[in-house]
Structure 1
Amino acid sequence: MDYRQLKEDLIAYSKEIGIDKIGFTTADPFGELKNRLIRQQELGYQSGFEEPVIEKRTNPALLLEKPRSIIAIALAYPSKMSVRVESKKGARRGIFARASWGLDYHHILRDKLAKLEAFLAERVPGARLKSMVDTGELADRAVAERAGIGWSGKNCSIITPEFGSYVYLGEMITSIPFEPDMPMEDKCGTCTKCLDACPTGALVQGGQLNAQRCIAFLTQTKGFIPEEFRDKIGNRIYGCDSCQTACPENKGRDYHFHQEMEPDPETAKPLLKPILTISNRDFKERFGKVAGSWRGKKPIQRNAIIALAHFKDETAVEDLKEVVEKDPRPVMRGTAAWALGKIGGADASFILEKARAVEKDADVLAEIEKGISMIEE
């Protein structure tokens, strides 16, 4: 078979089905990545959401029998909303990171990869193929870097010359011996704008992230967010774009190639107060189709409380009172108590004093004390 022609045909087909960039690399193990991941593990910098077995993340042969190549794909997503909604006094809004605008990208990329699989299965009967997006074992960025999609930026994102880092990534391991593409030259140079912009110092150095300090990670956890990070979260209710928006390569980048990626502004930048009492059913109906809903409503509600504290929204005191007094979840009650302390005022003080007299949970009591002390200062 003429694999060079097959590659050209596949590239042409990828454009037909709306893949913005495609690259090819070998199925060799990712040796340098393995060493970095071991070091990350030793330092405690991992998020815990990753595939725990490093060998699976770095050796394609453990995922597909006798692999010969890996195909990497990238789809560009919007960085600006076509229709904007404003956050106003008494009607404050939170914000989802750009990667969670529009339909969940996992579904979009899996559909594209499934079409590539069908194309290859017809042309190469018996070909072994295994696709994955984000939650798969392989590290998407390492594959994309080696396949020439872009270079790995200091902000730990793949940066493409065409679309900046506003791209979703996916890959397919194959038994087909496609000729590999050349990796791209790193163009970050001496720039450190992403490191300087990181609100929590999670970017330890260029290309090294301490996920435990990363706002994108913290907004997806389910417990109490450590107090040192709460003020830095601002009104982010899912994810963080600071290291992307600071990147000079992203200046002026805004692509609207895919209708399914277009954000509904009321979902991407929702009103905060209604989130506090949203039912499971309404949450699923409202946010279930976006990537930021994958951990359920609890992290989003907790982050909405922190965002109301960020705005010092006095109109939310009654809403937070309901959470402190009636929510069965300690994380919600405690975070709301802290938020009341940040907002301050006589009403907040009265609510916290009353809650202190009846609260039984030690963690919530500690947050109530923090809230009271902030008001007394």
Structure 2
Amino acid sequence: MTVYEKLANELSTIGCRYGILDVKRVTELKEELWNRFIEGQFDESFFDRNLKRLDGDPPKNMPEARSIIIIAAPLPFIQLSFSYRGKIYFAGIPPYYTFSNNLTRIRKALGRSLGADGHRIIDARIPYKLAAVRCGLAVYGQNNLTYVDGMGSFHRLVAFYSTLTAPEDLWIPSQLMDACADCGFCRGNCPTGCLVPMSEGGRFIARSEKCITLYNEEPGTFPEWLGLHLHNAIIGCMRCQSSCPVDRPLLRDIKVSEVFNEQETMAIIEATPFDDLSPELKEKLTKYNLDTYYNVIPRNLRAILEGQT
């Protein structure tokens, strides 16, 4: 069995898939993002916050690096219920946010395959979505999310530099998913008009300044145009994914994963400091990585409750 087969097998045991690029492509990944920025596909604040820090050259702390390994890990949609003023309200966590346990399993799988074969890895700060498309692991949807076979957009990407040589020098053109050709559900279900068509290639870009996720991931007051009734997740947004025909089967038979009683709900929306929450409530929030976003969770939950009242 080759090391590539070992890698695929170990990752498949935890439901993951991978793609691989030659390490020299890291420069082109950054250049492509820069060109998109120059063309106006990203606003300056989004570029500075998310893209400026990405690697533009092969890693100096691993001069022997030969490849970039991009991994897709499947993640579920998490449904939560909250008791508030005698009624039950629902708020979800989109796939992407509950990832920490998956990352641990991925590192162990890499150790059992690459590590056992004498190879090293280090974290890669690259544009994950673009890299996944360029290596053939994923394709773009009209909503500008990546879609992976068997996972839809319900996944999270992670990347590593490796001393493993890429078996071939892949550089696949950015592709739009075939299912998007005659579809517009994601655009139609986006209440803010976030998705804007590009002039060529059938692609759409997401205008970050109109994206609900941008505002509910960051602290502060929501803009007036972002009505409370538009909030649909305790962090992030599910509008374009919940309407997607490719993703819709992954949302069938969703059960409530966690129940928050009225006392717990009140403790959250009153912005009780995290350290002062009950041990049981802290455990619930930490289980779904909501402790990481607790600086915005009280505000977001209030918006959902008020928007559904």
Q: TM-score range by the shorter chain?
A: 0.7 to 0.9
Q: 1:182 to 1:255 in 2, by over 3 A?
A: farther
Confirm or deny that 1:217 pairs with 2:224: no
Aligned to 2:257: 264
Distance (whole Å) between structure 2 residues aligned to residue 284 and residue 191 of structure 1? 42
Question: 173-182 vs 244-253, which deviates more?
Answer: 173-182
Distance (whole Å) between structure 2 residues aligned to residue 85 and residue 250 of structure 1? 22
**In structure 2, which of residues 239, 242, 249 is the aligned counterpart of residue 245 of structure 1?**
242
**In structure 2, which of residues 100, 103, 110 is the aligned counterpart of residue 109 of structure 1?**
103
Q: Deviations over 1:247-269 (max 9, x none)?
A: 1211313599xxxxx973326xx
SS in 1 for 2:3: helix
% identity of equivalent residues = 21
Gaps of 5+ in 2: 198-202
Letter of the 2:236 counterpart: G
Letter of the 1:23 counterpart: G
The structure in which a higher percent of residues are helix is: 1
Confirm or deny that 1:53 pairs with 2:56: no
Q: 1:195 to 1:71 in 2, by over 3 A?
A: same
1:92–1:308 Cα contact (<8 Å) kept: no
Q: Deviations over 1:50-101 (max 9, x none)?
A: 25335x2x544467425321112122223476xx858787324251322267
1:26–1:70 Cα contact (<8 Å) kept: yes
Aligned to 1:146: 134
**In structure 1, which of residues 3, 7, 17 is the aligned counterpart of residue 4 of structure 2?**
7
Q: 1:255 to 1:310 in 2, by over 3 A?
A: closer
Distance (whole Å) between structure 2 residues aligned to residue 209 and residue 45 of structure 1? 14
1:76–1:163 Cα contact (<8 Å) kept: yes
Aligned to 1:122: 116
SS in 1 for 2:10: helix
1:113–1:131 Cα contact (<8 Å) kept: no
1:78-93 → structure 2 map (5 Å cutoff): 78-79=76-77, 90-93=86-89
1:200-239 → structure 2 map (5 Å cutoff): 200-205=192-197, 206-239=203-236
Deviation, 1:271, is 7.3
2:66–2:166 Cα contact (<8 Å) kept: yes
1:245–1:251 Cα contact (<8 Å) kept: yes
The structure in which a higher percent of residues are strand is: 2
Distance (whole Å) between structure 2 residues aligned to residue 192 and residue 148 of structure 1? 24
Distance (whole Å) between structure 1 residues aligned to residue 186 and residue 232 of structure 2? 20
Distance (whole Å) between structure 1 residues aligned to residue 288 and residue 47 of structure 2? 21
Letter of the 2:36 counterpart: R
Confirm or deny that 1:98 pairs with 2:91: no
SS in 2 for 1:96: strand
Letter of the 1:251 counterpart: R
Number of paired residues? 288
Distance (whole Å) between structure 2 residues aligned to residue 263 and residue 144 of structure 1? 31
Letter of the 1:306 counterpart: A
**In structure 2, which of residues 13, 21, 28 is the aligned counterpart of residue 25 of structure 1?**
21
TM-score (norm 1): 0.65
Q: 1:87 to 1:287 in 2, by over 3 A?
A: closer
Deviation, 1:235, is 4.6
Deviation, 1:118, is 5.0
Distance (whole Å) between structure 2 residues aligned to residue 293 and residue 37 of structure 1? 32
2:216–2:300 Cα contact (<8 Å) kept: yes
Distance (whole Å) between structure 2 residues aligned to residue 62 and residue 156 of structure 1? 31
TM-score (norm 2): 0.78
2:138–2:146 Cα contact (<8 Å) kept: yes
Deviation, 1:272, is 4.6
1:19–1:73 Cα contact (<8 Å) kept: no
Distance (whole Å) between structure 2 residues aligned to residue 308 and residue 119 of structure 1? 47
1:25–1:69 Cα contact (<8 Å) kept: yes
SS in 2 for 1:168: strand
Deviation, 1:7, is 1.0
**In structure 2, which of residues 72, 75, 83 is the aligned counterpart of residue 74 of structure 1?**
72
Deviation, 1:145, is 1.3
Q: Deviations over 1:121-159 (max 9, x none)?
A: 3312xx442135xxxx21111121122222021212111
Q: 1:42 to 1:305 in 2, by over 3 A?
A: closer
Letter of the 2:137 counterpart: I
1:100–1:290 Cα contact (<8 Å) kept: no
SS in 2 for 1:286: helix
Distance (whole Å) between structure 2 residues aligned to residue 272 and residue 200 of structure 1? 28
Q: 1:88 to 1:239 in 2, by over 3 A?
A: same
SS in 2 for 1:219: helix
SS in 2 for 1:19: coil
Letter of the 1:9 counterpart: K
Aligned to 1:178: 166
SS in 2 for 1:228: coil
Letter of the 2:103 counterpart: L
Q: Deviations over 1:216-240 (max 9, x none)?
A: 2211111111111133533532111
Letter of the 2:240 counterpart: C
Specify the structure having the higher radius of gyration (Cα): 1
User: Aligned Cα RMSD in Å?
Assistant: 3.3
